[in-house]
Amino acid sequence: MKVKIINNPSSGTQTLQKNLEIIIGRLILDNTLKEVDKVDTTIDFDYYGEVSKMKDQNYDLLIIVGGDGTVNNVINAVAKNDIDVPLLILPAGTVNDLGKYLNLPTSIEGVCSIIKNNTVKEIDLCKVNDKYFINVAASGLLADIAIKTPVKSKTAFGSFAYYAQGIKEVPKQLFETLKFKFEYDNEVLETEALLFLVLNSKSAGGFSNFAPKADITDGLFDVCIIKKSYPLNTAGVFLKIFSGEHINDPNVVYLQADNLKVDCLNKENLLIDVDGEHGGTFPATFEIKKKALKVIVGVNDKK
């Protein structure tokens, strides 16, 4: 196998990155890997330029080592360069929603065996305006926390940094009212909302059941809108997210669609977060390309 590795040395707690040399060494020794081309990212890394070097080079696999943000940067470069090489995501971030959903390994043994098994699955690729995403786009209350938490504090404290930032932000944001307009399948919905998410997989923000009906191969977005309500009701909604029961709560709108436009009617320059990275502002047009991305999954992946 000829592989390219794009590694973010700063993602998460850096455990997987430290084991990379051992993993590569083992796979070279048993002849699984014939050629390995590894590059470490930097803060201002040129993902597009790096991925464009893969054209016509007969790579068998592109391995991404990093958190959701790194994965997002690489898949944008892959899609925009029209690269058709299967991707292996090695989850090394703070939250790793997609990694958990796809049962991707983090141990040395697990990573070696998933590469040897080389089981390819085609998954949907999502886009909002000109930015691709693989797992989730979100906006409103809490959605910008992933963006605001500095990389350094994420590394030092792992997911605790998310909660610390969250606690600081929530009281202020609960008094805000955001009014959104959703257009999908000839329907129009205008509502005051705290937060909405557009999901490809089931998992977001560390909640593995945010979109309990989602299937990453069905060509549909799962949209979860958490409506503005009394703080106690909102707290109830968040508790139900653990079990997936929130989708039946009167303060939640849950829908599936293959097309979606969203506008924020009362706040300019509200950010959209895509897979933990900046995804621009409103109005937002969402597109989904069914099974447009090849990824390696664990042999026990049943989704």
Ligand X SMILES: Nc1ncnc2c1ncn2[C@@H]1O[C@H](COP(=O)(O)OP(=O)(O)OP(=O)(O)O)[C@@H](O)[C@H]1O
* 277 is annotated as an active-site residue: yes
Q: Which stretch binds ligand X (CB under 6 A): 91-99, 117-125, 135-143, 289-297?
A: 91-99
Q: How far apart are CA 262 and CA 264, in angstroms?
A: 7
Nearer to ligand X among residue 79 and residue 193 (C-beta): 79
Q: Of 21, 176, 277, 287, which one is the catalytic site residue?
A: 277
Identify the sign of the CA torsion 141, 144, 146, 148.
Answer: negative
Q: Single out the residue of 86, 105, 140, 276 in contact with ligand X (rule: CB under 6 A).
A: 276
Q: How far apart are CA 79 and CA 127, in angstroms?
A: 10
- Cα angle, residue 243 at apex, residues 223 and 261 outer, rounded to 5°: 5
> At a CB cut-off of 8 Å and minimum separation 6, what does 175 contact?
none
The distance from CA 147 to its chain's CA centroid, rounded to whole angstroms, is: 13
Compute the least distance from the CB of residue 84 to ligand X, in Å: 23
Task: Tell me the β-bridge partners of 261.
Answer: 183, 285
94 binds ligand X (CB under 6 A): yes
15 binds ligand X (CB under 6 A): no
Compute the least distance from the CB of residue 203 to ligand X, in Å: 12
96 binds ligand X (CB under 6 A): yes
Strands 136-140 and 187-199: antiparallel
Compute the least distance from the CB of residue 199 to ligand X, in Å: 16
203 binds ligand X (CB under 6 A): no
Active-site positions?
277
Give me the residues that bind ligand X (CB under 6 A), please.
8-12, 41-43, 45, 66-70, 93-96, 151, 154, 276
